[in-house]
A and B are shown apart, each in its own frame.
Chain A
Amino acid sequence: MASSAAVPFWRSAGMTYITYSNLCANLVRQCLKEPYKTESLTREKVHFSASQWVDGKPEKPTTRSDSPE
């Protein structure tokens, strides 16, 4: 069965279900026809900056962004 083989496959690649479903959603978005395709792809932009804290001090924040600075 294809689905049962797929689960350990992406899980063992270090992905969570969220990443997996996002990848799938993105694939579906790319299947749309043109005016809707760019619209839906520009809507889903990621931008945030995260920083880990170690012993009460923030480490250097890593910015994750789809849009060019």
Chain B
Amino acid sequence: MAMAALRREGRRIAAPLLSPHPINPLRSSLASSEEQAFSGVRFISTQIVRTRMKSVKNIQKITKAMKMVAASKLRAIQTRAENSRGLWQPFTALLGDMPSVDVKKNVIVTISSDKGLCGGINSTSVKISRALYKLNSGPEKECKYVILGEKAKAQLVRDSKKDIGLSITELQKNPLNYTQVAVIADDILKNVEYDALRIVFNKFQSVVAFLPTTSTVLSPEIVEREAEAGGSLGELDSYEIEGGETKSEVLQNLTEFQFSCVMFNAVLENACSEQGARMSAMDSSSRNAGDMLDRLTLTYNRTRQASITTELIEIISGASALTG
């Protein structure tokens, strides 16, 4: 009996050296079936738990760092996004925002991020774009996607790749600026035919709240048509036009400029939402990693304590058996 206890003691020392399954190779050295039954219970591998704890700890470190990065990026971009709201507001006051307008050639501009790990903002904008597509497709109607960002492209390629007209990526290599967005807007205008451009993006409301939003930019012909039909655009005729330009020329310039301004705001708002979403996602994931670590530590300590207790009991009872 004492020999058996000694042998077990030796095994306990040897066990951490053998990874990751220290139980199996030892099983052959065990003679009695009684001991075999115990071995599984007593020497549950603490090694595996320890490596798991280590990896969870590392993941937590990474997510915490990502959260910090997102928070600092968010602060930089938030003020710019809020300032850029002043760009589209006068246009909406003048030309109106009519999401319900019924036209032949629709172009849906879906704005998403290039990188993942930012919660559900990309799938939200894809979902809204699909809904808009369904609303605006029909006989004698055309509907195309223009995609900004890698993530929405990956999602839309699966079921509607026939309807993609243009995809643009690598937006955020440099900090976002108006010139860049204007060049992109120019590219879009030159490459697609449109009656209405519907821009889908996540509007930044707070660090945890993003509103999926659509802005509609109409082509000059449609603006004129709607203005003649009256409604919210009916007042457009009461404006006086200076200089030698005709009304259609002015309208064309206006809608082009409106599109680039709305795009600028949309891209900024979406980037801001992305950072906010990433921040909250990383926050919750580092919290989850912490919870997991707590549970693992508890299991680890309990197992260790249990194996020490059993060994002590065995040694003491063996010693008392010898003396008694």
Residues of A within 8 A of B (CB): 1, 3-4, 7, 11, 16-19, 21-22, 25-26, 43-53, 55-58, 61, 63-64, 67
B180–chain A nearest beta-carbon distance, Å: 5
* A44/B189 in contact, CB under 8 A: no
- Asked whether any CB of chain A lies closer than 8 Å to the CB of B36, the reply is no
Interface size class of B (residues with CB under 8 A): 35 or more
A64→B183 contact, CB < 8 A? yes
Closest 5 CB pairs of A and B: A4-B244, A44-B179, A56-B161, A17-B256, A17-B253
Residues of chain A within 8 A of B183, CB atoms compared: 18, 22, 46, 48, 64
- Main secondary structure on chain A at its contact with chain B? mixed
Interface residues of chain B: helix, strand, loop or mixed (majority): helix
Q: Which residues of B contact A63 (CB under 8 A)?
A: 170
* Residue of chain B at shortest CB distance from A3: B243
Interface contact B170-A47, CB-CB below 8 Å: yes
State whether the Cβ of B102 lies closer than 8 Å to any Cβ in chain A. no
Minimum C-beta distance from B153 to chain A (A): 8
Contact B173 A21 (CB under 8 A): no
B177 within 8 A of A: yes
CB of B161 within 8 A of CB of A53, answer yes
Q: What residues of A have a CB within 8 angstroms of the CB of B167 in the complex? A: 50-51, 53, 58
**For residues 129 through 168 of chain B, which have their beta carbon under 8 Å from a beta carbon of chain A?**
161-162, 164-168
CB–CB B186/A19 < 8 A: yes
Q: With the chains together, A9 CA to B171 CA distance in Å?
A: 31
What A residues does B252 contact at CB under 8 A? 17
19 more CB-based (< 8 A) A-B contacts, given A45-B174, A64-B183: A4-B243, A7-B249, A17-B256, A21-B257, A22-B182, A25-B179, A45-B180, A46-B179, A46-B180, A48-B170, A48-B180, A48-B184, A50-B167, A50-B169, A50-B187, A51-B166, A52-B166, A53-B165, A58-B167
Contact across chains for A4 and B162 when beta carbons are under 8 A apart: no
What is the distance, in angstroms, from A41's C-beta to the closest C-beta of chain B? 10
Residues of chain A contacted by B161 (CB below 8 angstroms): 53, 56-57
